[in-house]
Amino acid sequence: MSGLDERFRRQARNEAIFREVNERIAQLGQSAQAWSPDGVVEFLCECGVDGGCGERIRMPLEVYETVRRQDDRFAVHPGHETPEIERAVDWTDDYVIVDKIDAVEPQVADDPRGAPSS
């Protein structure tokens, strides 16, 4: 990962940790959607800020499932994108889906589902 400093490597690793927490939320499946009258689920922002930013993002479970199909994609709160290591591929007022650049992908390749990058 030449050209990127340790701060960005650490951030990518942190994002993978928050992804694991969100996996637990997603495992609740339909019951998690039932907690919300509009059918969306609250996930933690996966921006990877040290210690976590604490922001919540709301998205339908099926959107989260789409994000998880690739191990280099993460859901973050709007404005929490880090252009040095990722690019936005989809966004709403509630969340931004980011895709890691090639140099960072090895840092996030431990997806709990084993999803490949594309």
Q: Mind listing the pLDDT tens digit of every residue in the chain (118 residues)?
A: 455 677 777 787 778 778 887 887 777 766 666 666 676 888 899 988 877 788 999 998 889 889 988 888 999 999 999 999 899 999 999 999 999 998 888 777 766 665 555 6
Query: Residue 117 falls within a domain, yes or no?
Result: no
CB within 8 A of 66, min separation 6: which ones? Answer: none
Whether 56 maps to a domain, the answer reads: yes
pLDDT score of 29: 63
Assigned domain for 118 exists: no
Sorted by sequence, the CB contacts under 8 Å of residue 79 that are 6+ apart come out as none
Number of structural domains (the chain) is 1
> Does residue 39 sit within a domain?
yes
Q: How far apart are the C-alpha atoms of 90 and 59, rounded to whole Å?
A: 12
- Please give the distance of CA 4 from its chain centroid, rounded to a whole number: 20
Which is it for strands 73-76 and 56-60: parallel, antiparallel or unpaired? Answer: unpaired
Q: What is the dihedral of CA 48, 54, 60, 61, to 10 degrees?
A: 60
Full residue range of the structural domain in which residue 84 is found: 6-108
| CA dist list (Å): 74 to 2, 31, 34, 64 | 22, 22, 23, 9
Q: Model-level pTM? A: 0.75
* pLDDT at residue number 23: 81
SS3 27: helix
Res 99: pLDDT? 93
The answer to the question of residue 1 being in a domain is no
